[in-house]
Structure 1
Amino acid sequence: MTPGRGLGGGPGSTDTDAIPVTVLSGSLGAGKTTLVNHLLSNAGDRDIAVLVNDVGSVNVDYDLLSSDDLPAVGVAELSNGCICCELRDDLERAVVQLADGKEFDHLVVEPSGISEPGPVASQFTTGPASARYRMDAVVTVLDTPQFIDAFAGEETPERRGDADDDAARPLSDLLVEQVESADVVLLNKADLCDDAEIAEAEELVRALRPGVETVRTEHSAAPLDRILDVDLYRNRDRDSDDAHDAHGHDHEGHDDHDHDAHDHAHPDEVYGVSSFVYRARRPFHPERLVGFLSDLPESVVRSKGTLHVAAVDQRLQHSQAGPSVRVEAVGPWVAAMDESDRELYRANRGDDADWHDEWGDRHTELVVIGVDLDEPAIRQRLDDCLLTDAELADGIEVDPAEWFPVASEVNEEAAVVSLS
């Protein structure tokens, strides 16, 4: 068994027995799941296990990460809540079960985009999980253009809400929290910024977290030696005058984030974030769906999931963060396969629970996350994008390549399209 692998921790154990943990932090759509994909695809000799948390009842990120194409030793999911508060006990159970049932070298924890990283990290320094694991680093992934938009021109970014006020605090406060808690900050989507903007982003980050490691990335492709096995969580700022951030918060040993579960408010309550899941079997009309995706309500901060589009035999994976909208073809619907291949696939799978008599496995399952969402209005707009009874009966004359995805920027090999 390699050092740091398997059943580490416990009384009398050494740090080399404990499994190192990297907690990922970052706003909705910043690129955390893309980073996990990158880590797994480039793990080399490392065996990496993953725990992914999503705020909605459908864990889209788990579905992506549990693909057979990614070499994760184990993937665990916690859905419909955040692991920094209401799912804390579930987190402890899940990571202990992972250590009991698998052998791996590193655990990567991807909380939801509205989680505060401090309370998540603290669960690996106290309680049952601390007997098996040791915190290696908190890595915060920034959507750099979004971060600059939120704080450009400020010498020292500050929280804008009142923690003692019952009113919801702005999401920019959560960005501050996520940077202040970081050992490493990835300035992601750096390709969308010029040199001056990147320099300003670095200054803003260091104003919040003096001395923090920063890495410029595109598509979250960070060097693994900058974020794994770095042992920064315990060692940062111990002998530095930078142990206090610009607001006087003491970061040494992360004591400022070791909250008791009962003292920690749910982020959805603090920041006014809510979510819902839209499901449909009937396909979308390509033109109407593109119109909706190109004109999302400002209240929608993040949306992601699977789309069933008429005349498209591919399962389409949708991902939106702020103004950025991407759609990727991730493989054919089983119902679109040749009959022999379809029957063989279904026989091997042995599960007809998700099979529809008319549509087979074709379906839409879309998670919508935002602030002050008008859920009925958004649901109605999505319903209006579906084919009507007349269109279903008579068919539609449409070239999906013309309307969906929009051919503003197409990567033919990856079948990825940007609508932003």
Structure 2
Amino acid sequence: MSELSVVIVGGLHADARKAAVRRLLSDVPDSVVLHHDLATARAGTVVRTIRDAVGVIDAGEAPLVNDCACCALREDLVPELRRLAEAGGTRLAVVELWDSVEPKAMAEVVTAGGLTVTGVITAVDPALVLPCLGNGDDLAECGLAAAATDQRTVADTFARQLEYAPVLAVAHSPEADDEDRELLAQLHPTARQIPIEDGHPSDPAGLWPTARSPLARSPLARAALAGFDVEAAAAAQHPACALLPAEADAHGVSTLVWHRRRPFHPERLYDALEGITCAAARSRGRFWLADRPDTLLHWDAAGGALCVESAGPWLASLPDAAWEMVPPVHRAAAALDWHAEHGDCCQHLVFTSPGLDRDGLERLLDSCLLTDTEYAAGRAAWKRLPPAFDTLLEV
């Protein structure tokens, strides 16, 4: 089986995604694109096409698996990629994801199938970032659900697509202004942004493929072939060790990093959830509830909707012998947050939005912490506080 590089290109901004795919097909010799159209799932099948820069070279259908279009994609994608690798002649397989498919799952499926993912790219139109983050509609309402049980929203799906990819292919958008571009930069400050239009067939700089240089050297093509670490990407999203944005304030967009050592009072936080969640276009991080002092909780909000989940124990609550089973990146993140009294238990929430009321939001968050008297009562008393989050955590 010949060496085949796989790049995953996703994103809800379909026009930007298609433009990025066209750019890659144009820039990388011997490349093809695989696309599974999940819009036909209601009819019981998923339509697969394989095309090169000239046009469609193969098409077929994959049956639904467990009434789930995304499951059908998973089952069909790896065999098709293996077939391409075995046939030879293909240098790069571009996996163009359907609108609402998230790149993390597909990157892990391809890697688990023994293939090499060399890049993950999310295509973005800067003018559509804020509208997508503010869209709390269910995917099903927009015809974008990948399964009958798909309960994701447009906002949270877009946020995960954006934040997982180390590379953003950015479409030229006349409607985008400085605020739109700044919002994109603050939401994912570590991403490499590459204009989709970079490069031109006239190749004045001599960067295009030649007989001596078989690989395209345009920025987007280089990113597609640069290499990708699935485990590192997953760790960067895990709430215990996520690389969250830093403080920022420019062009009307702000990022507030709120870091505190004291736990939340569960009832006061629960009563303030609407105000906190709606204060920013995007917020995420980890937090600490007094009545669950050993549990690291994940905060994930977009489009005015909040998801709260348990992410396992704080390291401080584990016996020393269990630390060896914790990934090194998690231990390193905990060390950065370590406190002599509470270990890694803390509040670390990040809020990003145009027009963010930083002072008001900080006051609201601070008001939800334990008071001096409540804090002094100790952990045994904290655990007796009303468990206001049981419903959200499905306990």
TM bucket, shorter chain: 0.3 to 0.5
TM-score, normalisation: structure 1: 0.42
TM-score, normalisation: structure 2: 0.44
